[in-house]
Copies of this chain bind each other. A is one copy, B any other.
């Protein structure tokens, strides 16, 4: 932790800072610069967190030095984390594509999508049972019935199921049916939910909050990891910016940034990331080229009748074509799909 004093800080103001540091059981080293004094506080992050030096008179600002996440950091664990789910290895050489409808609407339509997605090369089945919707008057998902359809589709296709859980009280129910529990963008900072997910064994797919930095995404992962669940998949899905031609701004530079700082697998959701079906292929290719370990793609048999997000869902034949094109990109970066 670095304390920058004001240009005109008085000697007794500096003494006060030194005293507070010592009283917190920490050491310090002062650097007298040309214009101002800078004080390095020496200690672990949790130790230095015990003092709030920015409020002392004469202090201009306090700059943290240590990274706030530990278990998620590649500094502590160099090797990529690989998460095995019913024979699917996430985070390895194979790029894992999860496909399926935004909302699960019926067993029949889900089976049709799941079968064709599998045939096209999808490795996971995605689909929403509990849907977070901006409006209370919008369709909120079929809940447990949808979970049952998903389990049935897994039985038929063998594809492991990823689906969202929105509330601590629903975790046991969702975990009963799903193979991977998804935390949506609106819940990335729902710390109660993250804590509970840290206590159960199923892998967690954690979507980046639309107003959250890459560093905050890692802190949210840290909530799950520090609870004891080491199987977290991170997912870039677009952040909120002033650009309104796309639903969100898909931040693909988060891929190299995350691969650099964490050992956890990194997925990308080009469907929510752009909100437009016609941009999904370009962004899927870009994500794979940039080093993503997997994709989350919305596929629907009849987008024009979808109960949610039809405008960003691919037709199954579009998805088949996408998978073919992705294969070439995967090879160009020495991976399979």
Seen from chain A, the residues whose Cβ lies within 8 Å of a Cβ on chain B are 2, 4, 6-8, 20, 29, 31-36, 38, 40, 42-46, 49, 51-56, 63, 65-66, 68-69, 75, 132-138, 140, 166-170, 186-187, 189-193, 195, 209-211, 213-216, 219, 222-223, 226-227, 239-246, 249-257, 260, 273-274, 277-279, 282-283, 285-291, 303-306, 310-311, 313, 328-329, 331-333
Q: Are B38 and A34 in contact (CB under 8 A)?
A: no
Query: A52 touches which one: B55, B75, B249, B310 (CB < 8 A)?
Result: B310
B-side contacts of A290, CB under 8 Å: 282-283, 285-286, 289
Q: Min CB distance, A62 to chain B, in Å?
A: 8
Among B33, B245, B291, point to the contact of A257 (Cβ < 8 A).
B245
The complex is assembled from copies of this chain, and their number is 4
Instruction: For A310, list chain B residues within 8 Å (CB).
Output: 52, 54-55
Nearest residue in B to A185 (C-beta to C-beta)? B189
Residues of B within 8 A of A255 (CB): 282, 286
* Apart from A135-B219, A253-B274: 7 A-B pairs, beta carbons within 8 A: A20-B304, A29-B29, A52-B306, A166-B190, A250-B253, A253-B283, A329-B333
